[in-house]
Amino acid sequence: MSSIQTCFLSIPALLFLVLPIDPTLAEVVTPVSICKQFLLEETPPQVPGVLESGNILNQNQYKPICQTYKNKRRFLTLYDIKNKIPVFSAYKYIGDVEIKRPRSHWQIEPQLENENDSNNMRRKDKEKIYNHQAVDTDFKSNGTYDKGHIFPSSHAFTKDDKMATFTLTNIVPQARTFNQGSWNKMERCIKCVMDKYCKNSSGVTEVFVVTGAQPSSNNILNNKINIPSMLWSAFCCYSSNMDMWIASAHWGENVPDESKHKYLQTKTLSELHNKLRTADSEFNMFPGTQCPLHKTVSQFYPDIKNCFCPSSISTTSAPSNLTTPTPPSGSTTLQLTPTLQILLLTHLFLYF
């Protein structure tokens, strides 16, 4: 029972995922996750090449962690010990207690190094070498990348919940102006939406969020940590205010923002799925649920003020279906050839 009670899930005690029957196994593991409270309808995302139909395809590389702080499970992370970044973190947003970002020490996951160790996150041992995860010194003196939260502390409920987000298994190297700019504005905007519109049938705030990173092919920080090429996030909730399910997604390239006025464009779940899909497998953030695939929450933005939400034209890039505006019916458009333009400019110059 000791392996089952650990929060880091080893292969013989893998309670997070449904595994196919294997004649080499002595038992069929239960399909119920020990961290089911962080997954909408207790169903993990479909991540091509990583997590498909509830199965981890490479259990030597991808490790589910029930993130535990002060003996309480706070959120769920699927961690990539090869790239030393999370695939995703899943959490349930229930509001927050309106406290400032706490001063916290960066922590590690002991069971990634020894599955028989404590299931509580803790500060690293300065005398120990960590082979399966990043530590705070791996990020120092790089000058370009922040320790970018996947589950942001601003979305955590209590002070202890917020402290729990400062584990390095919930962190990726994130371009500084991207982390503090357009990504931060997205997190604040979505928080406003969730606070106002995600009240369940009992009138309580309840939202399921999954946020992750797309590893790069060969971009490594300090010869250890993969610098992801892209970050993505999605949420879904039932809105008793609107009597419907609502959802949206965002993503952004992990490069410096070109402007402090940059915003991430709000996308549908379907658009995110298509962005992350592979040739052989479909990505699905909330499989088997009523989350709308083709609608966003951008319609609510005009009704939430001071929330750093984009206007209809403030996006990271123009939608692919944008076309040049056509003139109103009955109007005419004057088009000048290069020769006529030169003659006109010459005439104006001589006139004035």
- 332 vs 336: CA distance, rounded Å: 13
Residue 19 domain-assigned (yes or no): no
Residue 229 predicted with pLDDT over 60: yes
Would you mind telling me the total number of residues written for the chain in this entry? 352
- 118 vs 130: CA distance, rounded Å: 15
The β-bridge relationship of strands 207-214 and 230-239 is antiparallel
In 3D space, the residue among 146, 117, 98 whose CA is nearest the CA of residue 254 turns out to be: 146
Q: Is the pTM of this model over 0.85?
A: no
* Number of domains, the chain: 1
Residue 336 domain-assigned (yes or no): no
Q: Which domain holds residue 172?
A: 48-303
Residue 244 predicted with pLDDT over 90: yes
Residue 348 domain-assigned (yes or no): no
The band of 33, judged by pLDDT with boundaries at 50, 70 and 90, is low
φ/ψ bin of 36: left (φ > 0), alpha (ψ from -120 to 50), beta (otherwise): alpha
Min mean pLDDT across 11-20, 46-55, 221-230 is at 11-20
Contacts of 108 (CB under 8 A, 6+ apart): 121, 122, 123, 124, 130, 133, 135, 167, 168, 169
What is the pLDDT averaged over residues 342-350?
43
Residue scoring higher pLDDT (95 or 97)? 95
What's the pLDDT at 35? 85
Residue 335 domain-assigned (yes or no): no
CB 233 within 8 A of CB 252: no
CA 324 → CA 176, 194, 212, 330, 345, distances in Å?
34, 34, 34, 17, 26
Residue 161 domain-assigned (yes or no): yes
Q: Sign (positive/negative) of CA torsion 282, 285, 291, 296?
A: negative
- 194 vs 251: CA distance, rounded Å: 18
Residue 9 predicted with pLDDT over 90: no
Residue 334 domain-assigned (yes or no): no
Structure tokens at 233: 């996030």
Min mean pLDDT across 155-159, 167-171, 270-274, 311-315 is at 311-315
Residue 40 domain-assigned (yes or no): no
The band of 57, judged by pLDDT with boundaries at 50, 70 and 90, is confident
What's the pLDDT at 52? 86
In 3D space, the residue among 228, 247, 202 whose CA is nearest the CA of residue 147 turns out to be: 228
Residue 41 domain-assigned (yes or no): no
- The pLDDT tens digits of the residues spanning 258-281 come to 999 999 999 999 999 999 988 778
What's the pLDDT at 257? 98
Q: What are phi and psi of 241, to 5 degrees?
A: -60, -45
CATH of the domain at 180: 3.40.570.10
Torsion of the alpha carbons at 240, 100, 110 and 39, rounded to the nearest 10: 10
